[in-house]
């Protein structure tokens, strides 16, 4: 993902944050994955959050950067699956952060390009 597409992704995610109660604490990429560390309200299910993010980001990034489609396997921006973990008894922000940064073929491929503060109260 080049820097222009990365910046568009951040911009689209900021728009999602304004429309939905989904806050992007961190956005990063490795060789062929995008990773989000997200905070949201309890009323939104993890599935709903994933569907919202995947549908809006795919539509907007392909609209803003049509050249990206030719580089995608099968022309799809996102794969069908996703991994979600929540903060609770067995995981905290640091555990989830470690999982995100250690993804990829090589551990040093992860590139963080957006980081915000985790909100405790609104």
- pLDDT, one tens digit per residue, over 20-40 is 999 998 888 776 778 888 888
> Domain 3-115 maps to which CATH number in 3.40.50.970, 3.60.15.10, 3.40.50.150, 3.30.70.1290?
3.30.70.1290
Q: Where are the alpha helices (DSSP H) in the chain?
A: 3-19, 46-64, 93-101
The pTM of this model reads 0.76
pLDDT value for 49: 94
Average pLDDT, integer, range 60-88: 84
Contact 37, 50 (CB under 8 A): no
Q: Which residue has the higher pLDDT, 39 or 101?
A: 39
> What three-state secondary structure class fits 52?
helix
Average pLDDT, integer, range 49-68: 94
């Amino acid at each position: 993902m080049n820097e222009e597409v990365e910046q568009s992704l951040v911009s689209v995610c900021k728009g999602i944050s304004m429309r939905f109660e989904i806050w992007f604490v961190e956005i990063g990429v490795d060789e062929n994955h995008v990773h989000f560390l997200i905070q949201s309200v309890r009323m939104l299910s993890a599935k709903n959050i994933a569907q919202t993010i995947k549908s809006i980001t795919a539509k907007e990034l392909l609209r803003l950067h049509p050249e990206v489609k030719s580089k995608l396997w099968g022309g799809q921006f996102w794969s069908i699956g996703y991994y979600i973990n929540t903060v609770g008894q067995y995981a905290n922000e640091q555990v989830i952060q470690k999982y995100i940064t250690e993804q990829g073929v090589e551990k040093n491929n992860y590139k963080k390009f957006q980081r915000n503060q985790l909100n405790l109260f609104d």
